A and B are shown apart, each in its own frame.
Chain A
Amino acid sequence: MGTITDQIKIMTDQTKMPPWYLKDIYRYLSAFGVLTLIYIGFRIYQGAHGISSGLDSTDPAFEIYWMRLFNFNVTFITLFAGLSWGYLWFSRDKNLDTLEPKEEIRRYLTLTMWISVYTFAVYWAGSYFAEQDNSWHQVAIRDTPFTANHIIEFYFNFPMYIILGGCAWIYARTRLPLYAKGISLPLTLAVVGPFMILVSVGFNEWGHTFWFREEFFAAPIHYGFVIGVWFALGVGGILLQGVTRLIELLDEIEDAA
């Protein structure tokens, strides 16, 4: 009786368990889930309070609904950066010389998951909330750098993908031998280039204050963002680094059914 239950238990466990090389798949999927909830939550919040309290930065309600959110975002982002980068650094692998090929393969797949989570955050920052910014500028007159969409886009979404990009970079640097021996140029480009988009916020706000007061998206004051995002193409180099190393590693391990 007991043996049958045990067997069933093992079988169900087996079907639930991902294969060894996808050990982190559930964490990966839950990261997508959590990020989706956060971003959709932001959009729902904007829908609920954008027009009622987000049109005038001198309104007291703006202070409550939007500046508090700004303060929350900045605090959260700072803490999250410290915690995630700190965790990845302090839990680093100090014996990379003895790393088994199988474990290295697994880590390459996990690195791909990290970069994938990073690009998912890039999607929300670079696509949805970025274009939504143009839409919001057709509704609210710009009277502050902290608009109902900027507070989310510039002070949560941009730092968020930077943190996740940084996580991918640190993960590679601390857990994969090739990335620990040398600094991967494409990975660094793909993380640092889009980071410069955040720095371009300064150029954007300067431009809108002194130079270009109208909401024309193709304006030169936005080109800082554009150049920053080109560096995302560094992912091509990361792919090639991954593929060549994975082939070496796969050739080292035994065939299995």
Chain B
Amino acid sequence: MSSKLSTQTFHHYIGEKARIARAYDYLVLVLALFLFIGSFHLHFALTVGDWDFWVDWKDRQWWPLVTPLIGITFPAAVQAVMWSNFRLPLGATLCVACLSIGTWIARVFAYHYWNFFPINMVMPSTLLPSALVLDVILMMSNSLTITAIFGGSAFALLFYPSNWPIFGMFHLPIEAGNSQLTIADMFGFQYIRTGMPEYLRIIERGTLRTYGQIATPLSAFCSALLCTLMYTLWWHIGHWFATTRYLKKI
């Protein structure tokens, strides 16, 4: 009832007021751009960074499990604010695009130009297809539950297949030192890293397999389940941080 009344009396800002509002938009967008490159990238690098830094960490067990799990955090929190208050379905794509910008700059200017690693050895993975789908599921459903279950799952399940066109070719077998290696392993062997010995890699170690030796889908579905929970948790974290309270004292 009240919304109907206000719709009738509503008038859009025009002229100077519209320009002020637009100037504010641009200021906030620039702010958000650097905020999310800085904060989401730091969060990502210090939790699942190693899988993203090195081509010889991109395995079938851990990489598709942990990357979406951490990758969905900031997108969920930012969606919670952008969708609930502004009906802007871009929180996930914005965060992930910012992450991509941050990682590419670091890989090129730090790893390559300062420390001489070939860029193909340190190429980042992409979460952009996952983020686009997460944004549109939220927009279409306007529901936390549906987005958490279907969006969260899609976010995780799309990760490995969207990165395989980039990294599949690094898994061709080669023969070296009387053993079979992937090209990715060979990067780790040849291009010397003083602080990243081979044994530090947290990658798939073979054990008993169910489902006929299939590894990746298991990780992806496990990640899908966890992403559903993680999405919900971070949606609430996003809301919690977006408090508008003023305190008497701190």
Contacts and interface: CB of A to CB of B under 8 A. Distances in A.
In their complex, do chains A and B touch, with some C-beta pair under 8 Å?
Answer: yes
Interface of A: 19, 21-22, 43, 46-47, 50, 105, 108-109, 112-113, 115-116, 119-120, 122-128, 130-132, 134-142, 178-179, 181-186, 188-189, 194, 214-218, 222-223, 225-226, 229-237, 239-244, 246, 250, 253, 255-257
Contacts of B19: 19
Contact of A217 (B20, B50, B193): B50
A127 B37 contact: yes
A196 B102 CA distance: 22
A43 B109 contact: yes
Given A181-B246, A235-B35, 8 more contacts: A21-B23, A128-B109, A131-B53, A132-B109, A135-B114, A217-B45, A229-B38, A250-B20
Interface string B1-39: 000000000000111110111011001101110110111
B132 to A, nearest CB: 21
B248 interface: yes
Counting chain A CB atoms within 10 Å of each CB, which of B47, B77, B78 scores highest?
A: B47
B115 interface: yes
B200 A216 contact: yes
B27 A127 contact: no
A218 B238 contact: no
B14 A134 contact: no
Interface string B183-198: 0000000000111110
Contacts, number: 231
Nearest to B103: A131
Nearest to A106: B20
Interface residues of B, number: 68
Contacts of B114: 43, 46-47, 50, 132, 135-136
Contacts of B49: 131, 134, 217-218
A113 B34 CA distance: 12
A127 B38 contact: yes
Contacts of B35: 119, 122-123, 232, 235
B193 A138 contact: yes
B14 A105 contact: no
Smallest CB-CB A-B distances: 4 pairs = A182-B246, A215-B195, A236-B242, A132-B110
B72 to A, nearest CB: 14
B16 A257 contact: yes
21 contacts: A112-B31, A119-B38, A123-B35, A126-B37, A128-B102, A131-B102, A132-B114, A138-B193, A181-B246, A214-B200, A215-B195, A218-B48, A218-B202, A226-B42, A230-B241, A233-B74, A235-B31, A236-B81, A241-B244, A243-B85, A244-B244
Given A178-B246, A236-B242, A244-B244, A139 B34 contact: no
A47 B110 CA distance: 9
Contacts of A122: 34-35, 38-39
Nearest to A225: B46
B243 A47 contact: no
Contact of B21 (A113, A194, A233, A250): A250
Contacts of B193: 138
